[in-house]
Structure 1
Amino acid sequence: MLLGKAVRLERILNRNTRRTVIVPMDHGVTVGPIKGMHDFKGSVDRVAEGGANAVLMHKGMPRCTHRGYGKDIGLIVHLSASTSLSPFPGAKTLVASVEDAIKLGADGVSVHVNLGDERERDMLADLGMVCSRAAEWGMPVLAMMYARGPHIVNEYDPAVVAHAARVAVELGADVVKCAYTGDMESFARVVEACCVPVVIAGGPRLDDDAALLTMAHDACLAGCAGLSIGRNVFQHDRPELLVKALSRVVHDEWDVERALEVVRSGRA
């Protein structure tokens, strides 16, 4: 591994635990300025204060969020996009380059692929190209891999999730983001089929902190390298406390009840 890639990965993955808590904030392109997306710098402040390892956003937003104070936090620049206004919202297209991310001081880039979509072949070509280009610069690639298309019956099916995750590894991704299959045994098989770190997505917006912490706890026991959770974090009433609780589960192996006390009482 190039030294540059190793250094950048250590800004995304905790060098001691080799795990991570990433907070994606790329939703403004997909669905617009939803709750948590208006005061963007404030949202970054809160998740950084909570101890998140990295945030993920589109190339235009670092200029709005660079703080010059407070806790440091890794930056992943998202390279692909689509909007909910499109007749083909699942068809992601590249809107930025590895070089754009380098100029922004990013620690990694990310690409979104929806397997099963009618434009799957274009998204796979984009992922493969980005991985090749990023390798030349020593830039880590996080691949967001989902199974979403007209022939996908259940995107959480363990075999489908395992296939999606393995595609990312085969094409050169350094970190894979995928759906959680719902139980430790089946998700362990997903992780075992990948020779790079696997992180879980947060899924739809939840109003149950215990359920979110339980998912994080169980996924980590199954071998997961952490979380990449957006709306369930930045739309929370106290995102800094939720991130602290999630970080305790991910990095310190706290149980769910102990971590819940962080959110309930405000104690780190």
Structure 2
Amino acid sequence: MSHYRLNRLFNPSSGRCLDVAVDHGFFGEPSFLTGIEDMTTAVEALVAAAPDAIQLTPGQAPLLQARPGRAKPALVLRTDVANVYGNPLDTHLFSRHFPDAVEQAVRLDAVCVVANLLQLPGRPEIRERCIETVMALRAECTRYGMPLMVEPLAMQDNAAAGGYMVDGDTRKIVSLVRQARELGADLIKADPTDDLDDYHLVVQAAGDLPVLVRGGGKVADDELLRRTAAVLAQGARGIVYGRNIIQHPHPAGITRALMAMLHEDYTPEKALSLVQAQ
């Protein structure tokens, strides 16, 4: 039954999706708010750009779902919050999910819920807490027919890396993706590997589950489009980009370019011409 909702996430022709993540305010980090200070305006702009989905928190989801009509992006609902992105880190780290997250997702008509599977150097208790969250959500998702997206996230040491930095080591990403598969995820949101030629190993670890690739930090348009092409060529079923869209000077243009690559097989060079097209 959970697959019925996913029919609204993936394009019926290409079988792929673009999910724009706008859940950054959930984590309490001031630097994450750039480009989304005014969430009403941000969501309106994204709806006009027409990606396949927008990823929001329970508190902001009504900005999308209260809009009339059927022609709007699907809702992906963020369910967990953690304080693992600061530099320096807080002395006490936590990761928590809404106890009624799946019921909220049903009421909000979400297509899936998403939760982290975090791996921080020297902090195994955070990974344990994330596993507990995934297990709890898995039980409720099964009960309500709600798809579960798990986001495996291997992080570098914040102090050494200068803040929120992911670890693109292929072995670490593959092992976390495999654990998410073993825990019962319905789809996976995973980081790109440092060596993009390795990405088929991430897809392989997910088995028959769709893999959506995280965008990570802000990069130049040509690099973003080349990276997107590389992961799609190795079997990724879509992308979940946030800052590379919401902090872009032309959010609608970069969305057009990415959607053309996903659903019309545009090359990066051809897609780049759409970024500033009116």
Structure 1 length as normaliser, TM-score?
0.89
**205, 214, 226: which one pairs with 1:201?**
214
Counterpart Cα distance in 1 of 2:215 and 2:95: 19
Task: Give, in whole Å, the separation in 2 of the partners of 1:55 and 1:88.
Answer: 33
Look up the match of 2:127.
Answer: 120
Distance in 1 of aligned mates of 2:193 and 2:20: 20
Structure 1 moving runs of 4+ over 3 Å: 83-86, 88-91, 149-154
8 Å CA contact 1:21–1:53 kept in 2: the answer is yes
* Corresponding position of 1:134: 141
Find out whether 1:251 has 2:250 as its counterpart.
Answer: no
Offset, 1:89: 8.4
| Residue 98 of structure 1 pairs with residue 102 of structure 2 | yes
Q: Pick which of 181-190 and 210-219 moved more.
A: 181-190
Tell me which moved more, 97-106 or 41-50: 41-50
Question: CA 1:61–1:91 in structure 2 vs 1: closer, same or farther (change >3 Å)?
Answer: same
Structure 1 unaligned blocks of 5 or more: none
Matched, 1:159 2:163: no
Matched, 1:145 2:152: yes
CA offset digits 1:146-177 (Å, max 9, x no partner) = 11265999821111111111111111111101
**CA deviation after TM superposition for structure 1 residue 265, in Å:** 2.5
| Residue identity opposite 2:114 in structure 1 | S
In structure 2, C-alpha distance between the alignment counterparts of 1:172 and 1:107, rounded to whole Å: 17
RMSD over aligned Cα atoms:
2.3
Determine if contact 2:170/2:195 at 8 Å carries over to the other structure: no
Report the counterpart of residue 6 of structure 1 in structure 2.
Answer: 3
| Separation of aligned partners in 2, 1:90 and 1:251 | 40
* Structure 1 residue identity aligned to 2:71: K
Structure 1 residue 70: Cα displacement: 8.0
Asked if the contact 2:250–2:276 (Cα under 8 Å) also holds between the matched residues in 1, the reply is: no
Task: Please state whether the residue corresponding to 2:273 is helix, strand or coil.
Answer: helix
Q: Distance in 1 between matches of 2:247 and 2:68?
A: 24
Identity %: 24
Q: Could you tell me how far apart the structure 1 residues matched to 2:119 and 2:39 are? A: 30
Where do residues 20-39 of structure 1 align in structure 2 (5 Å cutoff)? 20-30=17-27, 31-32=29-30, 34-39=33-38
Match of 1:192 among 188, 197, 204: 204
Q: Which runs of 5+ in 2 are unaligned?
A: none
Equivalent pair of 1:141/1:175 in contact (CA under 8 Å): yes
C-alpha separation in 1, matches of 2:176 and 2:94:
16
Confirm or deny that 1:174 pairs with 2:214.
no
**Equivalent position SS for 1:13:** coil
